[in-house]
Amino acid sequence: MTHTHVAGSIHADATSRAPGWLALPDDVNALLPRLWSRNVAKDDDGVLTVAGVDVAELAERCGTPVYVVDEDDLRARARAFAEAFAGWEVYYAAKSFLCTAVARWVSEEGLGLDVCTGGELAVAQRAGVDLSRVGLHGNNKSLDELRQGLTAGVGRIIVDSFDEIGRLSALAAELGVRARVMVRVTTGVEAHTHEYIATAHEDQKFGFSIAGGQAARALQACADAASLDLRGIHSHIGSQIFEPDGFEVAARRTLRLHAEHARATGVELPELDLGGGFGIAYTSADTPADPVVLAGALRRIVEAECAAQGVAVPHLSIEPGRAISGPSAFALYRVGTVKQVLLDGGTSRTYVAVDGGMSDNIRTALYAAEYSATLANRRSDAPPALARVVGKHCEGGDILVRDEFLPADVRPGDLVAVPASGAYSRSMASNYNHVPRPPVVAVRDGEVRTLIRRETVEDLLALDVG
CB burial string 362-374: b at 16+ within 10 A, e below: bbbbeeebbbbbb
Nearer to ligand PLP, 236 or 444 (CB): 236
- Which residues of this chain interact with ligand PLP, rule CB under 6 A? 93, 95-96, 114, 137, 236, 239, 275-278, 319-323, 423
Nearer to ligand PLP, 277 or 391 (CB): 277
Active site residues: 394
Cα-Cα-Cα-Cα torsion 374, 376, 377, 378, nearest 10 degrees, comes to 50
Report the nearest approach of ligand PLP to the CB of residue 234 (Å).
7
- How do beta strands 89-93 and 315-318 pair? parallel
Dihedral of CA 249/251/254/255: which sign?
Answer: negative
Closest residue to ligand PLP, based on beta-carbon distance: 321
CB burial string 94-109: b at 16+ within 10 A, e below: bbbbbbbbbbebbbeb
Nearer to ligand PLP, 225 or 318 (CB): 318
- Hey, is 176 helix, strand or coil? coil
Report the nearest approach of ligand PLP to the CB of residue 114 (Å).
6
Dihedral of CA 281/287/291/297: which sign?
Answer: negative
- Binding-site residue ranges for pyridoxal 5'-phosphate: 277, 319-322, 424
Distance, CA of 111 to CA of 100 (rounded, Å): 14
Nearer to ligand PLP, 56 or 331 (CB): 331
Distance, CA of 425 to CA of 440 (rounded, Å): 11
Nearer to ligand PLP, 107 or 377 (CB): 107
How is 353-417 classified by DSSP, letter by letter? EES--TTT--HHHHH------EE-B----SPEEEEEEE-SSS-TT-EEEEEEEEETT--TT-EEE
- Helical ranges in 176-239 per DSSP H: 214-224
Report the nearest approach of ligand PLP to the CB of residue 34 (Å).
18
Query: Which residues are CB-contacts of 460 (< 8 A; sequence separation ≥ 6)?
Result: 431, 434, 436
